[in-house]
Chains A and B, each alone.
Chain A
Amino acid sequence: MAPSIHAPRTRPAVSSGLGKAPTGIRGFDEITGGGLPRGRASLVTGGPGAGKTLFGLEFLARGAQDYDEPGVLLAFEESAAELADDVASLGLDLAGLEASGDLVVDACRVDATDFVTTGEFDLDGLFIRLSAAVQATGARRVVLDTIEVLFGALDNEAVVRAEFSRLLRWLKDQGLTTLITGERGREGQLTRYGIEEYVSDCVIVLDHRMHDEIATRRLRIVKYRGSGHGTNEYPFLVTDRGLMVWPITSTQLTYPVSTDRISLGVPRLDEMLTGGVHRGSTVLITGTAGTGKTTLAAAAVDAACARGEPALFVSFEESPDQLVRNMRSVGIDLGRWVDAGLLRLWGQRATAFGLESHLAAIERLLDETTPAIAVLDAVGSLTHVGAQSEVTAAVAREVDMMKSRGITGVLTSLSHEGQAETSSVDASSLIDTWLLLRNVESDGERNRLLFVIKSRGTAHSNQVREFILTDHGAELLDVSVGPRGVLTGSARMAQVAEERAAEAEQSAELERRRLALARRSAEVEAQIAVLREQLATETAALDRLVAEESRGGDARAAVRATLARRRQGGRDAPPPAGREG
């Protein structure tokens, strides 16, 4: 089978015992563990416009189209042409399926005003038409929409009840998976004529209500005999690709994961995240107004396109042209990627849509563009169109859509002053990497700081960085941590200048001291030289003295010798010189 976008993405767990017929309605088969009870009758009930008929039509059309189970629709309220129009808006080709013999639409409009009941009757006409249609198509599925009309048109209610009960038995005997639609009754009754008494296997309630002036549709499974099922009220959407139930609480965490890291386009940020974020993970950028959320997201897209990867940028705040212009002013040229066919820019005011069509549009964009990275700027804008819990559910669904497709998601969200660490959309648990941008006001200016609040699977930096927008893109700078705390902007520059001056001062002092030392050393050398000179002089003087002394010694010896000779000549006479001297 060719891959179909409508085939369930996650194969639902098949519960033991009861067989199930997949409806092909996205999300529904997940919450029921496989679809409607096979071979039995289910009831779907709701007020006018709740989507009962569409539910039934999609069940039939997907059955015929995707599960090889032909079907029959007995329509009591609408003509065949009206029904074909209804499903065309869901992207289902009723006429095509009818032409191929996989589907029979029998519109037997019952107009209560032209019926007169005159005595006993039975519904053999209905039985015969139904069985003829079932035989003609080999149908496995039957939808009766809305059989309660018969109760209003035929005023013998006892007969209609008995015949309805017989009809259900017959359908069950034929092994047909049947879906019956019913109109919601007054005072909390599930149906106007209490037909839920006859349909005991599965009852689904659809609700279409206004909440904060916003219409929301919800689905609840009231009972499902012999099967576990989600008991919550699930929001559901009527999209141009069929119904979609958001099984938020049963969304399976079975995404393919990657250990591959990709750059967010700001080198120092990648460093803080030890090499970027994991491919296919989801990044949330929160910050107050004007902190550079969009620019940071655009940098990530720019980096992806530079790697040759397709990207999608969805803006709920700016038009594509405006976005390109604004990003160019900070040196990020998105226009060239659009021209190269790598980048799809899509802008639409969030208020232009309800949440339903918003989600449908996003899903369609993701399928059409098959991007490696997708930016939603800013998811907080959705709070204008939905109540908080629904927006959270919608964002969860978006994250789910991206993760299941392996798309790296970048969501931005506006946070408000004073509660910077709470995103306006409470989606933090769905997010893998959370970057917080914060304005710091001091010295008459506002500067931006970037924090990595969390990053799953990453030994991320605990450091604060200053985030600046230059005309060549976004940059991160180390902040100065001085005695006055974290310094940014011109305070940081002043601090840096001060530090530089201090440094310069210090090196000048050193130079001075070095010179002084050199001078002193030269002085000492000079003194040593002088002393050496003196020493040499003294040595020379001494030598002279010694030489003189030795000459003087010789002379004295000669004198003594002369004297001795003289004394030996006049012995008797004492030497006069000795006595006198």
Chain B
Amino acid sequence: MTGPAEGAPRWSLTLYVSGASPRSAQALDTVRRVCDEALPGQVDLRVVDVAEDPDLAGEDQVLAVPTLVRQRPAPVRRLVGDLADADRVRAGLELVAPPSPSTARGRLPGEP
């Protein structure tokens, strides 16, 4: 697992939504907030309505809505749900902020 911010690669995220549902709106809201905090200006975020582009949804293996797909950096990650919990979104995208070495190490399994 490489450090996410190091080398500052351009991030590519796609949020698949279905119409203008409250769930979709909330998910978009959370994604924007998290990205602006942790990766300002580094994220290419696309929003796709599965009803309008089912083929693209198929390519990204999207079944559940909303789904946030991290295409870059590899590996691909899929976050399913309304992204209500910002901490889980950060964890899912592997953005651990704030990066405190002691706490980060303390969370690893097998450590005393």
Contacts and interface: CB of A to CB of B under 8 A. Distances in A.
A156 B62 CA distance: 16
Contact of B64 (A106, A114, A154): A154
A118 B82 contact: yes
Nearest to A156: B81
Contacts of A129: 50, 54, 57-58, 63
Interface stretch (B4-12, B38-46, B72-80, B101-109): B72-80
A123 B64 contact: yes
Contacts of A117: 79-81
B77 A114 contact: yes
Given A116-B77, A119-B82, A119-B84, A124 B61 contact: no
Contacts of A109: 61
B91 to A, nearest CB: 8
Interface string A128-144: 11001000000000000
Given A132-B54, A154-B80, A110 B61 contact: yes
A106 B77 CA distance: 21
A581 interface: no
B54 A128 contact: yes
B85 interface: yes
Contacts of A122: 18, 23, 64-65
Interface size class of B (residues with CB under 8 A): 20 to 34
Given A110-B63, A117-B81, A124 B89 contact: no
A122 B27 CA distance: 13
A150 interface: yes
Give the one of B23, B64, B84 with max A CB within 10 A.
B64
Most chain B CB neighbours (cut-off 10 Å) among A108, A109, A116: A116
- Range of interface residues on A (Cβ < 8 Å): 20 to 34
B64 A120 contact: no
Name which of A106, A124, A129 has the most chain B CB atoms within 10 A of its CB. A124
B16 A125 contact: yes
In the complex, which of the residues B54, B65, B80 has the most CB atoms of chain A within 10 Å of its own CB atom?
A: B80
B85 A114 contact: no
A126 B61 contact: no
Interface of B: 16, 18, 23, 50-51, 54, 57-58, 61-67, 75-85, 88-89, 91-92
Given A106-B58, A115-B78, A120-B81, 9 more contacts: A114-B78, A118-B82, A119-B82, A121-B23, A121-B66, A121-B82, A124-B50, A124-B65, A156-B81
21 contacts: A106-B58, A114-B78, A115-B78, A116-B78, A116-B88, A117-B79, A118-B80, A119-B85, A121-B23, A121-B65, A122-B18, A123-B63, A124-B50, A124-B64, A124-B65, A125-B16, A125-B57, A128-B54, A128-B57, A129-B57, A156-B81
